[in-house]
């Protein structure tokens, strides 16, 4: 499998407030590259979000804005065309709203949500949170809500599901964005 696993953290409840982004690039069923950056969201931080991810406004004062980061990561969305996320509706909407905020044309790509696939493949679980799945599937997740750790864990969840259930079982979950 070849894809990019994506994870955002946001400064507040607004989807256009990305304060960190990570991408795990998978080639031939292996995570081959990792990208992580703090982002200056140019907006306020809410204490609820800080409590989840631990990123404060002072941490991003000198960080690049999203348009600066987009210049570097845009090719991954043009080449790979398959973007994976755990709770993809959140991460895809953060990308979409952030691009809209800066008047950047959004890319078209395919996406798979490992939260949705996990609910289908492991219905017996009490919940399908990223950390729960990692525990059950023996996938390393050292710092939950650290975007890099979460994106790598998400990539490994999809790779595990592909090994356990096959490509044809994953195909119904592919959605165009």
- Which helix (H) or strand (E) covers residue 4, if one does? strand 3-10
Predicted confidence at residue 79, as pLDDT, reads 66
Given a contact cutoff of 8 angstroms between Cβ atoms, the answer to whether 120 and 112 are in contact is: no
User: Does the pLDDT at position 10 exceed 80?
Assistant: yes
Q: What is the pLDDT of residues 97-142, one digit of tens each?
A: 999 999 999 999 999 999 999 999 999 999 999 999 999 999 999 9
Q: What CA–CA distance (Å, rounded) separates 110 from 174? A: 6
Given a contact cutoff of 8 angstroms between Cβ atoms, the answer to whether 41 and 17 are in contact is: yes
Domain of 54 in residue numbering reads as: 3-176
Domain with residue 129: its CATH number is 3.30.420.10
Q: What CA–CA distance (Å, rounded) separates 35 from 147? A: 10
Q: What is the pLDDT of residues 18-76, one digit of tens each?
A: 999 999 999 999 999 999 999 999 999 999 999 999 999 999 999 999 999 999 999 99
Q: In total, how many domains does the chain have?
A: 1
Q: Which 3-state string (H, E, C) describes 135-158?
A: HHHCCCCCCCCCHHHHHHHHHHHH
Predicted confidence at residue 81, as pLDDT, reads 86
Predicted confidence at residue 51, as pLDDT, reads 96
């Amino acid at each position: 499998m070849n894809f990019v696993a994506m994870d955002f953290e946001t400064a507040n409840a607004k989807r256009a407030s990305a304060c960190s982004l990570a991408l795990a690039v998978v080639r031939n069923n292996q995570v081959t590259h990792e990208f992580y950056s703090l982002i200056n969201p140019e907006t306020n931080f809410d204490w609820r979000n800080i409590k989840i991810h631990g990123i404060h406004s002072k941490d991003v004062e000198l960080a690049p804005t999203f348009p600066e980061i987009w210049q570097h990561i845009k090719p991954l969305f043009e080449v790979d065309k398959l973007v994976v996320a755990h709770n993809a509706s959140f991460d895809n909407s953060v990308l979409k709203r952030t691009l809209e905020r800066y008047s950047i044309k959004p890319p078209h790509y395919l996406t798979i949500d490992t939260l949705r696939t996990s609910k289908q493949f492991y219905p017996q679980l009490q919940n399908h949170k990223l950390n729960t799945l990692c525990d059950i599937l023996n996938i390393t997740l050292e710092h939950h809500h650290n975007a890099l750790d979460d994106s790598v864990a998400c990539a490994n969840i999809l790779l595990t599901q592909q090994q356990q259930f096959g490509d044809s079982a994953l195909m119904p979950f592919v959605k165009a964005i």
